[in-house]
């Protein structure tokens, strides 16, 4: 296929259990990340109190209609075929977009949303009217994960509203677009260290922190758990919105040691059936689970490091 300058949108409707895994597959081929939205919400609905419980999620990704298109489609469908051994998997839909339209196409599906009591997530290219007590997070995820539309991120934001205390030091492991780091900073945290193994995510976090006026509170770096374990730094609050298996692996590498005694942690990206295994692993790492939050099939676990 000749390079036409056009783009292809690929979309799939999946349930909450398979959404994260499918998004990881789409991200291998997509440009500007993967848009994840709850299916069936009217585009002018941005107050979470009006949003029905999530049943299906709509995933969209975009890649160029160039000489690599056929190979990418074959690789994508092969990867999805392997996933069908674990999850029911629909056939992806494809739609051709003009070159001038593609970069704006995914933005049309990313609308402002209210989360918790005060947090409002606003895409940078939109304008909304805020209430007197609203805390706005203006965001352009770019190629990094984290728009605030996925249940795992929403659970984290709800928990942050209750847990962040003025003057705290916060560690965000797997920061993505920086949405959780920015929320922590705006809720009163003194300093936030945002780490992601992807350099693009670290750059997106820094740019979004600047757009929100909190760049002075947030240090965004390419790094991982080992980056912190190798230093003497300890934190009051830990944020981990990744996947259950990665959380469990981290507990085996000394995750609990990054918190000060009595420090708290938020763990999300967990399917409800995985929660018991995650809690067992957390206890082995001296992190005592004390609360859960749930959104559909997704579970968030709050834990505390014991006092030495």
Higher local confidence (pLDDT), 23 or 259: 259
Please state which of the ranges 32-41, 89-98, 178-187 shows the lowest mean pLDDT: 32-41
Instruction: Specify the DSSP class assigned to residue 168.
Output: -
- The pLDDT score that the predictor gives to residue 46 is 42
Higher local confidence (pLDDT), 91 or 147: 91
* Location of structure tokens 């920015």: 182
CATH 3.30.70.120 placement within the chain: 7-105
- The pLDDT score that the predictor gives to residue 114 is 87
Average pLDDT over residues 218-234: 91
CATH 3.40.50.150 placement within the chain: 144-305
Percent of the chain exceeding pLDDT 90 equals: 42
Matching CATH number, 7-105, of 3.40.109.10, 3.30.70.120, 3.40.1190.20, 3.40.50.300: 3.30.70.120
- The pLDDT score that the predictor gives to residue 5 is 63
Higher local confidence (pLDDT), 12 or 99: 12
pLDDT (tens digit, 9 = 90+) per residue, 159-203? 999 999 999 999 999 998 899 999 999 999 999 999 998 887 888
**What are the distances in angstroms from CA 296 to CA 17, 90, 147, 245, 273?**
9, 20, 18, 19, 12
- The pLDDT score that the predictor gives to residue 58 is 83
Residue burial 142-155, b: 16+ Cβ < 10 Å; e: rest: ebbbbbbbbbbbbb
Helix (H) / strand (E) element for 211: namely: helix 199-211
Percent of the chain exceeding pLDDT 70 equals: 83
Query: For residue 24, is pLDDT > 80?
Result: no
Instruction: Determine the Cα–Cα distance for residues 8 and 18; give it in Å rounded to an integer.
Output: 23
Query: For residue 252, is pLDDT > 70?
Result: yes
Give the mean pLDDT of the chain.
83
The band of 75, judged by pLDDT with boundaries at 50, 70 and 90, is confident
Query: For residue 126, is pLDDT > 90?
Result: no
Residues in a beta bridge with 169? 191
Instruction: Specify the DSSP class assigned to residue 164.
Output: -
From 125, 87, 90, 85, select the one nearest 104 (Cα to Cα): 125
**What are the distances in angstroms from CA 179 to CA 194, 211, 241?**
10, 12, 11
Reported pTM: 0.71
> Which residues have CB under 8 Å from 165's CB, separation 6+?
188, 236
Residues in a beta bridge with 218? 192
Please state which of the ranges 5-14, 36-45, 69-78 shows the lowest mean pLDDT: 36-45
Higher local confidence (pLDDT), 292 or 152: 292
**What are the distances in angstroms from CA 46 to CA 38, 115, 155, 164, 181?**
12, 9, 16, 24, 22
Contact 281, 252 (CB under 8 A): yes
Q: CATH 3.40.50.970: does it fit domain 144-305?
A: no
Average pLDDT over residues 200-217: 91
pLDDT (tens digit, 9 = 90+) per residue, 62-71? 777 888 888 8
Instruction: Determine the Cα–Cα distance for residues 224 and 232; give it in Å rounded to an integer.
Output: 15
- The pLDDT score that the predictor gives to residue 42 is 45
- The pLDDT score that the predictor gives to residue 87 is 76
SS3 assignment, position 178: coil
pLDDT (tens digit, 9 = 90+) per residue, 288-304? 999 999 988 889 999 99
Query: For residue 45, is pLDDT > 50?
Result: no
């Amino acid at each position: 296929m000749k390079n036409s300058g056009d783009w292809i949108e690929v979309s799939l409707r999946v349930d909450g259990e398979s959404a994260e895994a499918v998004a990881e597959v789409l991200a291998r081929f997509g440009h500007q990340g993967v848009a994840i939205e709850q299916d069936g919400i009217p585009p002018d609905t941005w107050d979470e109190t009006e949003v029905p419980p999530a049943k299906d999620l709509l995933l969209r990704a975009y890649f160029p209609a160039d000489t690599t298109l056929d190979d990418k489609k074959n690789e994508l469908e092969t990867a999805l075929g392997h996933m069908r051994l674990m999850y029911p998997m629909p056939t992806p839909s494809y739609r051709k977009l003009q070159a001038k339209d593609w970069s704006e196409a995914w933005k049309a599906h990313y609308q402002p949303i209210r989360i918790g009591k005060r947090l409002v997530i606003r895409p940078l290219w939109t304008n909304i009217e805020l209430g007197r007590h609203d805390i706005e997070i203006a965001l352009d995820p770019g190629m990094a994960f984290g728009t605030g539309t996925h249940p795992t991120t929403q659970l984290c934001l709800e928990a942050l509203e209750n847990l962040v205390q003025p003057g705290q030091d916060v560690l965000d492991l797997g920061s993505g677009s920086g949405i959780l780091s920015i929320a922590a900073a705006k809720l009163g945290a003194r300093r936030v260290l945002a780490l992601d193994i992807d350099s693009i995510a670290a750059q997106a976090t820094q740019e979004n922190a600047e757009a929100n006026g909190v760049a002075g509170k947030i240090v965004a770096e390419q790094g991982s758990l080992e980056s912190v374990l190798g230093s003497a730094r300890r934190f009051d609050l830990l944020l981990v919105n990744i996947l259950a298996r990665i959380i469990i692996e981290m507990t085996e590498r000394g995750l609990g040691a990054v918190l000060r005694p009595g420090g708290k942690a938020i763990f999300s990206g967990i399917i409800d059936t995985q929660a018991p295994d995650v809690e067992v692993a957390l206890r082995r790492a001296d992190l005592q689970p004390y609360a859960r939050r749930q959104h559909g099939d997704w579970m968030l676990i709050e834990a505390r490091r014991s006092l030495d």
